[in-house]
Structure 1
Amino acid sequence: RETAGYISSDLHQLCLSSLPVSAHLWYLIFVAFHTEMNLLSFTVVLGLLVGTWAQPIVRRPLCDSPEAEEAALVAQDYLNGQHHHGYKYVLNQIDDIKVYTKPDGDEYDMEVDLLETDCHVLDPTPLANCTVRPKVQTAVEGDCDVVLKNVSGVLKVIAFKCKSEVSTEDLCLGCPTLLPLNHTDALDFVQASLTSFNNMTVDTTHVLLEVGRLSSQIVSGGPIFITEYVVVEGNCTEDPCVPLNDAMATRGICTAKGTIAQHSVDCKMFSTLKTLRTHGHSHHKLTALHNPHQNVLLSAESAESDEVVPVVPAAAAPAADPAPAADPALAADPALSKQ
């Protein structure tokens, strides 16, 4: 009902529900001057409204929308750029996305799942051509919270937190079992297979740079090792050989399978200036943290206490030193490396 100087509560609620937040203030001012609302009531409502008005607008795009996929791919490429050991990761799915509208540019709060591929971070193969590692090979999966900022129309990652874990799904009896990177017998096998590879090369000796994966499998003839590792051209003027301090030194990714006495080894050689950083002894994880305290939007779900790696923002990263780590003890036993 309506009478002179009075607007019914039903009509009042209808008017408010039909207006955007930015228009509520002006509607309340109109009501104040055309009803018997007293000054105290008006002041209280005005304070509440201004507080609501100051809150950022939150949008929830669909996870399969072009906007969400664009942001997720930017996050994927950035995370791979911060990943200096192990293997490249590819986007699996977008779990959640919120977009906060702010005066200095929209901010994207995302939760994404990533899957490990069979391409090492030193491998120049484009990510689109890399194959996702099957779960029966004990793949590593990543779960990341990422915050991006739209700066002049360009999305940039400003903070992230990641956790990674070994997939235990679809494991089968007789499938390869992932071993820690400091497994003594498996490392002996790596050295034996590397010796075999060096015996097949002419005028070049390669040394171990990083162990990528160590696995074992039970077959009809007994247990065998399945390994992946990175080698670099060595300087053998002294014994033992050390990595060659040369930007043009050949590098390669080797796969070897079998036993110390009988095995096969194949190495794919390439050139790269990217250096590797030492890592732990379980499996190669995604870089865990970057500016996690800079933004309150990051959830606690991806907190990982056992791996904290300092990260240099991509834009400010110094030129890569072409010389790989020259400490042969670290290469021979990754357990000696410190995070």
Structure 2
Amino acid sequence: MRPVAAAVVLGLLAGAWAQVPPTNFPPVSRPFCDSADVEEAAFVGQDYINAQHTYGYKYILNRIEDVKVTQLSGGEELYSMELDLLETKCHVLDPTPLANCTVRPKHEVAIEADCDVLVKKMAGVLSPLAFKCKSKPDSREEFCVGCMELLPLNDTDALQVVHSSLALYNNKSTDNSTFELLEVGRMSSQIVSLGAKIMVEYVILETTCNASGSCIPLNFTLARRGFCTGSGTPVELYVDCDIVEAGAAPMDTSRKAATSHPSSGGPGHKHHRLIRLHDPSASGLLSESQESAEVPIVKRQVPPDVEAIVMPEIPLAPGIQLCPGKIRHFST
């Protein structure tokens, strides 16, 4: 092999799997973001985040921003990743598989999430350890006349559209059951020819009503749920609900009917933030992405030897571009 060619090959190999020389650090490598192993670990992290997120909508992987792999004792590997996720139109209680969920488009004010994720690999098996995320609406450079604008989840006018459209559904539906509001998922407004139009998305729960007309919600595990879209203008009210059977998807049985939840979309918030308060202790392993630096950590079963690791910066060979990976849906 010619000297120049040999130097190029060695440079590529050194960049793709750069090792840390100091003996006081575990061996750390920098694989390609779009390699099969990294993608598999990223999907495990994505599914774990969705499993912990009990309010709002499911999120799907859009891009792997960065990754480092640490070799632990006993043959374990630790994937430390920065992931870009996008909100879908599937609520977390919707049984639709994530792969079949529609990513919310930009013109509907897409929500993106920047997440730091830890995934352990042992004997070929991937297990999620911890994550922290920060979610926010896709930024716009200037106000767009006629475009959708997110409203706070406690907006008075939008809540009126929610309750009015639900009443319309209960009155017009041929279903023998009456449904009540479980959660407001999203509210937005748009200027149309008829004036201001308010669009709402919400989840409803089946109730049982007595002869006097008093209704109480059924046991959460036994009740059917509905996913509704509604809209209201000064002259028009619209509603459509998809009803699914009880037990069609895993549910948190501790939940109760509410218009919002303080840990995910409290007063003034315009979307259900991708946050779950659980063991919010600090860890140097999840401090790499500045996007999610202020968000509490969700952590489980992090081994003691993992806690002591401080992830070093790894130099790459000139011209080597390992990350970020490919964009799967659209640039945010």
Structure 2 equivalent of residue 330 of structure 1: none
Letter in 1 for 2:121: N
TM-score computed with the length of structure 2 as normaliser:
0.72
SS class of match (2:221): coil
Which structure has the higher relative contact order (CA within 8 Å, separation 6+)? 2
Contact 2:190 2:198 in 1 (8 A): yes
Q: What does residue 200 of structure 1 align with?
A: 172
- Asked if 2 retains the 8 angstrom alpha-carbon contact of 1:160 and 1:290, the reply is no
Pairing partner for 1:69 from 16, 19, 39: 39
1:274 is the counterpart of 2:274: no
Q: TM-score, normalised by structure 1?
A: 0.71
Which of residues 263, 275, 286 in structure 2 aligns to 1:298? 286
Is contact 2:281–2:296 with CA below 8 Å preserved after alignment?
Answer: no
Paired with 2:31 and 2:164, the residues of 1 have a C-alpha distance of 53
Q: Which has the larger radius of gyration?
A: 1
Cα drift, residue 53 of structure 1: 3.1
**Equivalent residue for 2:318?**
none
Displacement of 1:83 in angstroms is 0.5
Deviation at 1:152, TM superposition (A): 3.2
1:223-262: CA deviation from partner (whole Å, max 9, x where unpaired): 1111100001113337653321253311110001223752
Q: Which amino acid aligns with 1:214?
A: M
Match of 1:184 in 2: 156
Q: Is 1:287 matched up with 2:275?
A: yes
Structure that is richer in helix per residue: 1
| SS of residue in 2 equivalent to 1:208 | strand
Q: Which residue matches 2:192?
A: 219
Query: Which of residues 220, 224, 228 is equivalent to 1:254?
Result: 228
Structure 1 residue 120: deviation in Å?
Answer: 0.6
Q: CA deviation at 1:159?
A: 1.6
CA distance in 1, matches of 2:291, 2:132: 6
CA 1:240/1:286 → structure 2, altered by over 3 Å: closer, same or farther? farther
8 Å CA contact 2:195, 2:233 repeated in 1? no
Q: CA 1:52–1:153 in structure 2 vs 1: closer, same or farther (change >3 Å)?
A: same
Q: Would you say how many aligned residue pairs link Structure 1 and Structure 2?
A: 262
Identity %: 50
Change (3 A) 1:304 1:100: closer
SS at match of 2:117: strand
Contact 1:197–1:265 under 8 Å retained in 2? yes
Deviation (angstroms), 1:102: 1.2
Cα distance change, pair 102–94 in 1 and its aligned pair in 2 (3 A) = same
Asked whether the equivalents of residues 230 and 254 of structure 1 are also in contact (C-alpha less than 8 Å), the reply is yes
**Within the alignment, does 1:129 sit opposite 2:106 as a pair?**
no
Alignment partner of 1:161 is 2:149: no
Task: Show structure 1 runs of 5+ residues with no match.
Answer: 1-50, 315-339
- Residue 126 of structure 1: CA displacement? 0.6
**Counterpart Cα distance in 2 of 1:210 and 1:304:** 28
Moved segments of 4+, more than 6 Å: none
Q: CA RMSD in A?
A: 2.5
For residues 190 and 224 of structure 1, what CA distance do their matches in structure 2 show? 13
How many Å separate the matches in 2 of 1:69 and 1:55? 25
Q: Secondary structure at the match of 1:267?
A: strand
Counterpart contact for 2:29–2:68, Cα < 8 Å: yes
Query: Over residues 180-218 of structure 1, what are the superposed CA-to-partner deviations in whole Å (9 max), with x where a residue is unaligned?
Result: 000001101111000110012242110000000011111
1:107 aligns with 2:103: no
